[in-house]
Amino acid sequence: MSPGLPPGETIVDWLDAHAEARPDAPLLDEGDTRWSYRAFRDLVGRVAGCLAAHGVERGDRVVLYLGRKSAHIATYLAAASLGAIAVHVYPQRPRSYVDFAACAVGARHVVTLDPWEADGEAYAVLGYPADPAAFDPVATRPSHPVAYLMFTSGTTSTPKAVVTEWRNVRAVTENMIRIAGMRPGDREVIFMPLGSTGGAGHLHTVLALGNSIRLLPWFIGDRTDDDLAGLIETIEADAIDGFLATPAIITRLLSTHRAAWSKAGRRLRYMLANVTPMRQSVVVDLLTTLPDLRFVTYYGLTEASRSVINVCRESPGAEHATGRPSKGVEVWLRDPDAEGAGEVMLRGPNVCPGYWGEAPEDRRTGGFATGDLGRFDDDGRLWVLGRLGDMINVDGLKLQPAEVEDVVHTHPAVSECAAVGLPDPATWQRLAMAVVLRAPEPDADRRAAIADELRALAGQHLAAFKVPGEIVMVDALPRSGIGKLQRRRLIELFDVEPEPAR
């Protein structure tokens, strides 16, 4: 049975409760600085005093554009303690994105470590206080039902600000603690961006349980081997119990740091991956390498976090399945086709009410349409097959990219691959594929031979229209900052004409 959440509506209430009950217990470590619960609660009160001195009030939207994770956390909690609404933005975003985000939600303030002049902008730029002690602490004020705003990735449309309420935070936090088997006294390392549901969600679990965190100054899109070596050292030196990673990081730990990872990883009790699907071979390798690890993958969106989970060790033969619904979450398929595949629909306490500036949706009855294609197997597990918008249409014959990728990836020379539909004047689209080789191959004849082998491999297992005609070898696939494949950018890797008008 998982531990219950502390009383109170917000994460500020949880911080207050632990600061009162265990004031000297460690909360955050960042670099050479450590904060106890009491010390960090004092910091939050003083940052709230700074915000209040600049006119931040209940219901105001405050954009967090902070590269230092401790500053981001303190400002998030400070805004919440005033009843204001934090707007999470990756610090790697350009200034133009901050302008867009602030305008989209009507924010009056942007908090940053390096303030700039905001002439002509509708918002004021506030510098995170260099000396928080200069401000008197402000006591917690009545909360707002909205916990924070976080933008969708914008890979298929203009980013939207998702409204997350405190009731959603509580529901997701309870589920995360349950599925990972987290316990009071656990210690985590967080390197995921706090502007994502991944990083923020693990902060929430730590505050709920009164646990502690080691913060690493990462943005996960481009990690070096030295960074991964540092992660392994942190796990050992800080006695880490568990953390959240991405499939790409797990794959690299297993492939390029196997010996050190096998040793350090054995002290971990749990580990989660925030993006599915994962390659079955990678999951099995991880479970074999760390035989006592509880490894969980989960599926969700910014609008509906941690909706479906797979405790991989409990799913022999289906370690890479998307999984089963989290507690309290309903999952069904809309308009399934003859093969049982349809759009994944979600309903539950984790589903957010809507987008800022739009009328709230009644998702309690209608459900949330994910835009993902899925099917259930005979054991009731969900398998997400891909985005409906990623469907490739070759002369009326349709396929999902994953069907081809799963076959091509079995070739021993292939590290990563991604299929895409290129515009074609005769067949509407034609199938192509970008491939990252395990070992760079400079010889053009050898690259051509590998491409022929991949086409032959696909032809052995798939229908003819699912065999990629064009294959390019690339150094890396285009991904977002949190590691998601950006399929629309794949087309840029090929020499093609613009897509014909519909």
pLDDT of residue 362: 60
Q: Above 50 in pLDDT, residue 310?
A: yes
Q: Please tell me the predicted confidence (pLDDT) of residue 501.
A: 39
pLDDT in tens, 170-183: 999 999 999 999 99
Q: Please tell me the least confidently modeled range out of 36-45, 338-347, 401-410, 477-486.
A: 477-486
Local confidence band at 194 (pLDDT 50, 70, 90 cut-offs): very high
Rounded Cα distance between 467 and 293, Å, is 38
Q: Is pLDDT above 80 for 4?
A: no
User: pTM of the prediction?
Assistant: 0.86
pLDDT tier for residue 364 given thresholds of 50, 70 and 90: low
Question: Please, what's the largest Cα pairwise distance for the chain?
Answer: 71
In the numeric block, which tokens belong to residue 33?
């600085």
| pLDDT on residue 382 | 96
The encoded tokens of residue 345 equal 């629909």
Domains in the chain and their CATH numbers?
1-165 (3.40.50.980), 391-493 (3.30.300.30)
Q: List C-alpha distances in Å: 241 to 130, 175, 180.
A: 33, 18, 11
Mean pLDDT of 96-103: 94
- Whether the per-residue pLDDT at 213 is higher than 80: the answer is yes
Report the mean per-residue pLDDT for the chain.
Answer: 91
Lowest-pLDDT range of 110-124, 280-294, 306-320: 110-124
- Quickly count: other Cβ atoms within 10 Å of residue 60's Cβ: 18
Q: How far apart are CA 99 and CA 94, in angstroms?
A: 9
pLDDT tens-place string over residues 30-76 = 999 999 999 999 999 999 999 999 999 999 999 999 999 999 999 99
SS3 415: strand
pLDDT value at 84 more than 70: yes
Q: What is the pLDDT of residue 39?
A: 98
pLDDT in tens, 367-378: 999 999 999 999
* 334 bridge partner residues: 343
What is the SS3 assignment for 21-41? HCCCCEEEEECCEEEEHHHHH
Most confident of 3-7, 227-231, 248-252: 227-231
The enclosing H or E element of 417 equals strand 414-424
CA 475 to centroid of chain Cα atoms: 24
Q: Using H for helix, E for strand and C for coil, what is the string for 427-464?
A: CEEEEEEEEEECCCCCCHHHHHHHHHHHHHHHHHHCCH
Q: Is the pLDDT score of 210 beyond 50?
A: yes
pLDDT (0 to 100) of residue 139: 87
Q: What's the pLDDT at 386?
A: 85
277: left (phi over 0), alpha (psi -120 to 50) or beta: beta
Average pLDDT over residues 206-226: 88
Which residue is listed with tokens 């899109």? Answer: 221
Interacting residues of 230 by C-beta distance below 8 A, sequence separation 6+: 216
Region for residue 495 given its phi and psi (left: phi exceeds 0; alpha: psi -120 to 50; beta: otherwise) = beta
Average of pLDDT values for 200-223? Answer: 90
Q: What was the pLDDT predicted at 379?
A: 95
Alpha helices in 22-158 (DSSP H): 37-53, 69-81, 95-105
Residues 372/308, Cβ–Cβ less than 8 Å = no
pLDDT mean over 103-120: 92
**Predicted confidence band of residue 89 (pLDDT cuts 50, 70, 90):** very high
Among 30-39, 119-128, 479-488, top mean pLDDT goes to 30-39
DSSP element (H, E) containing 125: strand 124-127
DSSP class of residue 239? Answer: T
Per residue in 391-425, pLDDT tens?
A: 898 887 888 898 899 899 999 999 999 999 998 88
- Over residues 424-466, the pLDDT tens digits come to 888 889 999 999 999 988 889 999 999 999 999 999 999 899 9
Q: How far is residue 325's CA from residue 328's CA, in Å, rounded to a whole number?
A: 8
Encoded amino acid at 221, one letter: G
Residue 189 has pLDDT above 80, yes or no: yes
Residue 500 has pLDDT above 70, yes or no: no
